[in-house]
């Protein structure tokens, strides 16, 4: 009767240990699944942030290219205007010289007309150069604003990535701590079971042990 009780107790302890081991394995599998899922989410976030950064940098490059094209076009227009004004001035001065040579009496009127033309051309040139300066300033402001937005985006993405990696590290640490605690509990249970077996074997030896 006593031996049957001991055997029943041993079976109960062994079944309990087996159940505990199964729970530990399930917990490990669940932790591994959670870790892989967290790492997959982190990787997906990194890929998404990298794609966003690439898109913004591409947009910034396009804006820079557009600003550069606009600036070159404006400078070309200014140069063409200068060339046109220079040609007009040369033509009028050449005409004035011809008039001076043939009509000395109308010299003053021609000079006054030429001076007025020069002033008009100078005003036109100043207006166009002022417009070009404004366009350059707008382009520079737009570029700085785009670069500031891109920098802010980079900093935001870096902060998000650091936050997620910190969270992942904490989850890993928590899983590791839980695993170590579970393994310690299993070892303690095994040691307790071994001690119980030894104690019962010493106090209630079987016929085989007696012989």
Please name the residue ranges forming H helices in the chain.
Answer: 2-102, 107-203, 207-210
Structure-derived torsion over alpha carbons of residues 41, 45, 47, 48, reported in degrees to the nearest 10: 130
For the whole model, what pTM was predicted?
A: 0.41
Query: How is residue 204 written in tokens?
Result: 């209630």
pLDDT of residue 177 exceeding 50, the answer is yes
Domains of the chain by range and CATH? 2-210 (1.10.287)
Burial status of residue 135 (CB atoms within 10 A of its CB: 0-12, 13-18, 19 or more) = middle
pLDDT-based confidence at residue 56 (cuts at 50, 70, 90): confident
Q: Cα(198)–Cα(10) distance, rounded to whole angstroms?
A: 11
Query: How is residue 164 written in tokens?
Result: 């997620």
pLDDT-based confidence at residue 139 (cuts at 50, 70, 90): low
CA atoms within 13 A on the CB side of 95: 11
pLDDT-based confidence at residue 117 (cuts at 50, 70, 90): low
pLDDT-based confidence at residue 211 (cuts at 50, 70, 90): very low
């Amino acid at each position: 009767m006593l031996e049957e009780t001991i055997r029943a107790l041993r079976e109960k302890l062994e079944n309990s240990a087996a159940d505990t081991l199964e729970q530990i394995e399930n917990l490990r599998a669940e932790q591994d699944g959670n870790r892989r899922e967290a790492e997959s989410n982190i990787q997906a976030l990194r890929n998404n942030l990298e794609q966003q950064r690439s898109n913004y940098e591409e947009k910034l490059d396009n804006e820079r290219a557009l600003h550069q094209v606009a600036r070159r076009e404006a400078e070309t227009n200014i140069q063409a205007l200068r060339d046109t004004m220079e040609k007009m001035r040369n033509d009028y001065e050449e005409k004035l010289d011809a008039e001076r040579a043939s009509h000395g009496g109308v010299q003053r009127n021609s000079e006054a007309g030429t001076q007025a033309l020069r002033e008009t051309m100078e005003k036109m040139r100043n207006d166009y150069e002022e417009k070009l300066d404004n366009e350059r300033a707008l382009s520079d402001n737009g570029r700085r604003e785009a670069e500031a937005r891109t920098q802010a985006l980079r900093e935001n993405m870096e902060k998000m990535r650091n936050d997620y990696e910190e969270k992942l590290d904490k989850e890993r640490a928590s899983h590791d701590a839980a695993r170590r605690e579970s393994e310690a509990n299993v070892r303690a249970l095994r040691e307790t079971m071994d001690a119980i077996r030894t104690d019962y074997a010493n106090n209630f030896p079987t016929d085989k042990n007696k012989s």
